[in-house]
Structure 1
Amino acid sequence: MIAIDRRRLRAFITQVDSTAGPDGCWPWRGSSDQDGYGRFGKQAEGAHRVAYELMVRPVPAGLHVDHTCHNDDTTCPGGVGCRHRLCVNPAHLEAVTQRDNLLRSRHTMPHHNAAKTHCPQGHEYTPENTYTRRTSKGYARRECRTCRRDRLAAAA
């Protein structure tokens, strides 16, 4: 059981609009940053992260807090105007890896690239026909083996 700082919890709750009930989004009414995320306290911590830590459990090292309400909404434009970035309902928050967080949101390039089933030349991405490599920045990149083989043969 985690010890709850009652004063911090009370200060946090006063800035939450929970009128939508237990299943609805709870928008943060306090300050927010230029990216549209709520900020809380002197350290300007992410309000959704604070909500998770106060009402669920500490966020495990290396994990990010994902807004699951955002992943279910197909009408949200994403970006800075995303209303889900202000949601602090602990039922809508989940600690996940950065990779999972990026792949879940239909507004990110990793999500769109992972959804692709064929290379630009029309070859299917199957385990047998897909080469995966790491870029200099450590990102995983998929490459069609057929196209790679053709490109290397043309260069030889």
Structure 2
Amino acid sequence: MTDVHPLRLRAFIAQVDTTGGIDACWIWRGYRSADNYGVFGKGGNPAHRIAYELMVRPIPEGLNIDHLCHNVDTTCPGGTTCQHRLCVNPAHLEAVTQRDNLLRSQHTGPHRNAAKTHCPQGHEYTPDNTYSRPTAKGYARRECKTCRRERIAQRAA
């Protein structure tokens, strides 16, 4: 766990609204960043990461903290207006890879693309009809093999 002085822990808890109970979002009442995440301490540490480390365990290297409460709320508009960004309830937080974090949120492009079952021309994405190529960032990009063959044939003609 993060080694925190008891007075610092008290200062952290004093900025959390837990009036909704143990299952509700615990909203950060302290300073917020420009993108509406809670910030704690002089170092500008994200409050949800501090909460996870204080009350769950250290965050493994390379992992992000996902707000599980955001992933189940279908009414959340997402973006900087998302109130789940202010949640510091450790029961609502999970350490995951960046990829998993992006795929879980209904508001991200990777989530929307992963949910697609057919290409824009209506061909089904099946293992036999899907070409996967890595992007510059290392992510896989799906491409329809049928459309790809048609494009190659058109260029050759």
| TM-score computed with the length of structure 2 as normaliser | 0.95
The residue that corresponds to 1:115 in the other structure is 115
Aligned residues: 155
Matches of 2:2 and 2:29, distance apart in 1: 25
| CA 34–74 in structure 1, closer or farther in 2 if over 3 Å, else same | same
Question: Residues 28-67 of structure 1: matches in 2 within 5 Å?
Answer: 28-67=28-67
Paired residue secondary structure (1:66): strand
Paired residue secondary structure (2:16): coil
Matches of 1:100 and 1:146, distance apart in 2: 29
Paired residue secondary structure (1:102): helix
| CA 139–74 in structure 1, closer or farther in 2 if over 3 Å, else same | same
| CA 3–120 in structure 1, closer or farther in 2 if over 3 Å, else same | closer
List, as ranges, runs of 4+ consecutive aligned residues in structure 1 with deviation greater than 3 Å.
none
The CA RMSD over aligned residues, in Å, is: 1.1
Matches of 2:36 and 2:84, distance apart in 1: 9
The residue that corresponds to 2:152 in the other structure is 152
The residue that corresponds to 1:27 in the other structure is 27
CA apart distance, 1:134: 1.1
**Residues 133 and 140 in structure 2, CA contact (< 8 A), matched pair in contact too:** yes
Matches of 2:103 and 2:27, distance apart in 1: 24
CA apart distance, 1:7: 2.5
Question: Residues 133-148 of structure 1: matches in 2 within 5 Å?
Answer: 133-148=133-148
The residue that corresponds to 1:105 in the other structure is 105
Check if 1:15 corresponds to 2:15. Answer: yes
Question: Residues 123-138 of structure 1: matches in 2 within 5 Å?
Answer: 123-138=123-138
Matches of 2:105 and 2:136, distance apart in 1: 25
CA apart distance, 1:22: 0.6
**Residues 30 and 38 in structure 2, CA contact (< 8 A), matched pair in contact too:** yes
**Residues 2 and 53 in structure 2, CA contact (< 8 A), matched pair in contact too:** no
Amino acid at match of 2:59: V
Amino acid at match of 1:12: F
Paired residue secondary structure (2:132): strand
Query: Identical aligned pairs, as a percentage?
Result: 72
Matches of 2:69 and 2:44, distance apart in 1: 23
The residue that corresponds to 1:93 in the other structure is 93
CA apart distance, 1:137: 3.4
Amino acid at match of 2:116: K
CA apart distance, 1:139: 2.8
